[in-house]
């Protein structure tokens, strides 16, 4: 009997190493291993007296970009496309593959945009790049989560990396405040998540999303009224934790301060990348585990969507700091994404996926320009630009840069025929198809309101004549590539949206099955 059990244990260990589990998880293992290797290399080299304590941030940035791109290539060519691995704790399908590739490419783009900033500021914090690798690794695991334990571990690894990144500038009180505020509120939201998961586990006795779905669909557990109330309470706690993580109103209060206080490359990373993985697992949890409790959580999502659209649009009207403006703009966009999620339909998921991709490219343009080493002219010693009025006269000093920025602003405002208009239209049509006309109406109204602060930036660039103005001495090559690719995407989707539509339709079906 003992020999028979040992034989089966050996087979299980062998399959763990060489069967589907290992192959499906190989890109994540490669990314984590590379991050550990770069960390060891950086610690040894940066403290070497014989090498005169070199600055490694710029060189490790290139290694980070290549690592992220190669990981995306591995995922694209993975032989395992649909599988549940590691004893139902992780899942691999078309949806996870799509989200992982988008997250990796956007992260690589953020690091590439930041190269000139790192070089100019002579940042000696290569650890930040290692933390970005670990944060992206946690996003990949988070996207593939198939039970509550793997979800919580992945989201905590991501959060711990973010806390340190937000407080990266140790000599800046704003950065330190941002890191502390992010840590306190992030820990609180993680506590809400964990408490909600414990209530769900206490009610069902299972941790797997698919097993929870079976229990709720079949009604195999007979519960008293108080136990059913605890189930609803647990689901609401999980919802609140997720809404904190994605900075949705009314849980958005940490976002503007953190985005303003963090270094600009880190702000770009926070704005662009984390929402992809969070929305991916958000959809999987509620559309798979809690779909049969749809009427309960849909009400909360609708309220959060309406609040985010209104708070983001109205609060952005009074902002003069560029990064705070982008923070409230991000809250407004989260409201549109939640509107697609509230539909809980194939069309809603597809519209959400389209909006996420377009949102990423629009923000890449904005932060590529902010990170272009724009500094004041005429007066020496003034710092890098911080306020929207600092963009004045950019149309005269660099017309191409101003034109690209204007295209991004028009697209964010949802002005036709740019990609931002079509992505919002998909969201609104999905809401109307799900009898959620109030979301569509409020979405259109807040889009009109947002035109004021987006078009105000264009007016400042083209028509203001200040005493000092911002002028890039030379656009970095990596930023120019990011701007060109993103601008091409926005214009291409305007003329030929079919490829993006087909891809998102395929991955939305994978999530709904």
Is the previous residue joined to 250 through a cis bond, with omega within 30 degrees of 0?
yes
**Structural domain includes residue 396:** yes
Alpha-carbon gap, residue 298 to 304, rounded angstroms = 10
Q: Looking at residue 372, what DSSP letter applies?
A: S
Give a yes or no: residue 512 inside a domain: yes
Tokens found for residue 162: 């973010």
Report CA-CA distances (Å) from 77 to 26, 34, 136.
11, 19, 19
| Residue 132, both tokens | 């970005």
Burial level of 219, CB count in 10 A (0-12/13-18/19+)? exposed
pLDDT given for residue 3 in this prediction:
40
**Whole-angstrom distance, CA of residue 144 vs CA of residue 90:** 5
> Token digits for 369?
């320009």
Please count the helices (runs of H) and the strands (runs of E) in the chain. 23, 4
The predicted pLDDT at position 373 comes to 65
Bridge partner residues of 90 (DSSP):
85, 145
Contact at 8 Å (CB) between 85 and 24?
yes
pLDDT value of position 108: 94
Residue 118 lies in a domain: no
242 domain-assigned: no
pLDDT of 216: 81
CB contact at 8 A, 129 and 111: yes
- Is residue 392 a part of any domain in this protein? yes
User: Along the chain (513 residues), what's the average pLDDT of each consecutive run of 10 residues?
Assistant: 42 54 88 93 81 76 93 91 86 93 94 83 78 95 93 94 88 84 91 93 88 80 66 89 92 90 90 92 89 85 95 92 92 95 92 94 92 60 69 82 91 90 94 93 94 91 72 76 91 87 91 78
Q: Where are the beta strands (DSSP E) in 139-213?
A: none
Whole-angstrom CA distances from 177 to 64, 70, 167 are 28, 35, 7
Q: Tell how far CA 121 is from the center of its chain.
A: 26
What does the pLDDT read at residue 228? 75
What pLDDT, on the 0 to 100 scale, is given for residue 4?
Answer: 40
Q: Is 245 part of any domain?
A: no
- Distance between the two ends of the chain, CA-based, in angstroms? 41
Q: Which helix (H) or strand (E) holds 205?
A: none
Tell me if the bond preceding 251 is cis, omega within 30° of 0: no
Neighbours of 54 (CB within 10 A): 12
Residue 111 domain-assigned? no
Rounded to 5°, the CA angle 218-302-455 comes to 145
Rounded Cα–Cα distance for residues 480 and 268 (Å): 16
pLDDT of res. 382: 47
What is the number of domains present in the chain?
1
- Strand 83-85 to 375-376 pairing: unpaired
User: What is the reported pTM?
Assistant: 0.91
Other Cβ atoms less than 10 A from the Cβ of 257: the count is: 18
The answer as to whether 210 is a domain residue is: no
C-alpha closest to that of 114 among 262, 322, 255, 245:
262
pLDDT per residue as tens digits for the range 15-27: 555 467 788 889 9
Cβ partners under 8 Å of residue 292, min gap 6 = 213, 216, 217
How high is the pLDDT of residue 377? 53
Parent domain of 450: 299-513
Helix (H/G/I), strand (E/B), else coil: 396: helix
């Amino acid at each position: 009997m003992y020999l028979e059990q040992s034989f089966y244990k050996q087979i299980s260990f062998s399959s763990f190493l060489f069967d589907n589990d290992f192959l499906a998880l190989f890109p994540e293992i490669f990314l984590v291993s590379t991050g550990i290797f770069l960390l060891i290399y950086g610690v040894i080299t940066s403290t070497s007296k014989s090498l005169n304590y070199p600055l490694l941030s710029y060189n490790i940035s290139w290694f980070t970009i290549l690592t992220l791109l190669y990981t995306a290539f591995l995922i694209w060519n993975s032989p395992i496309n649909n599988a549940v691995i590691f004893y139902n704790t992780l899942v691999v399908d078309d949806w996870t593959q799509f989200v992982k590739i988008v997250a990796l490419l956007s992260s690589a783009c953020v690091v590439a945009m930041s190269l000139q900033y790192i070089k100019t500021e002579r940042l000696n914090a290569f650890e930040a790049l290692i933390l970005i690798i670990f944060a992206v690794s946690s996003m990949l695991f988070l996207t593939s989560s198939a039970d509550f334990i793997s979800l919580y571990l992945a989201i905590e690894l991501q959060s711990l990396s973010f806390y340190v990144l937000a407080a990266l500038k140790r000599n800046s009180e704003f950065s330190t405040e941002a890191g502390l505020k992010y840590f306190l509120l992030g820990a609180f939201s993680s506590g809400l998540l964990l408490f909600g998961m414990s209530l769900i586990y206490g009610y069902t006795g299972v941790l797997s999303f698919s097993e929870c779905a079976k229990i709720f669909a079949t009604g195999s557990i007979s519960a008293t009224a108080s136990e059913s109330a605890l189930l609803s309470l647990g689901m609401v706690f999980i919802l609140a934790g997720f809404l904190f993580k994605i900075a949705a109103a009314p849980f958005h209060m940490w976002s503007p301060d953190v985005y303003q206080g963090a270094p600009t490359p880190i702000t770009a990373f926070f704005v662009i990348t984390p929402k992809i993985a969070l929305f991916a697992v958000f959809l999987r949890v509620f559309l798979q585990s809690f779909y049969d409790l749809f009427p309960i959580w849909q009400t909360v999502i609708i309220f959060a969507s309406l609040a985010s659209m209104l708070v983001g649009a109205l609060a952005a009207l009074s902002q003069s700091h560029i990064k705070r403006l982008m923070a409230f703009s991000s809250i407004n966009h989260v409201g549109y994404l939640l509107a697609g999620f509230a539909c809980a339909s194939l069309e809603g998921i597809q519209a959400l996926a389209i909006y996420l991709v377009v949102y990423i490219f629009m923000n890449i343009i904005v932060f590529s320009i902010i990170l272009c080493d724009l500094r004041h002219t005429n007066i020496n010693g003034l710092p890098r630009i911080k306020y929207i009025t600092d963009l004045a006269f950019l149309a005269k000093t660099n017309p191409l840069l101003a034109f690209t920025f204007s295209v991004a602003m028009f697209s964010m405002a949802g002005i036709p025929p740019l990609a931002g208009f079509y992505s919002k239209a998909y969201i609104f049509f999905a809401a109307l198809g799900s009898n959620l006309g109030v979301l569509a109406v409020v979405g259109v109204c807040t889009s009109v309101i947002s035109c004021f602060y987006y078009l105000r930036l264009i007016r400042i660039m083209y028509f203001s004549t200040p005493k000092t103005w911002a002028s890039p001495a030379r656009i970095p090559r990596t930023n120019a590539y990011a701007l060109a690719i993103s601008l091409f995407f926005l214009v291409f989707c305007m003329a030929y949206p079919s490829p993006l539509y087909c891809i998102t339709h395929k991955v939305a079906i994978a999530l709904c099955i």
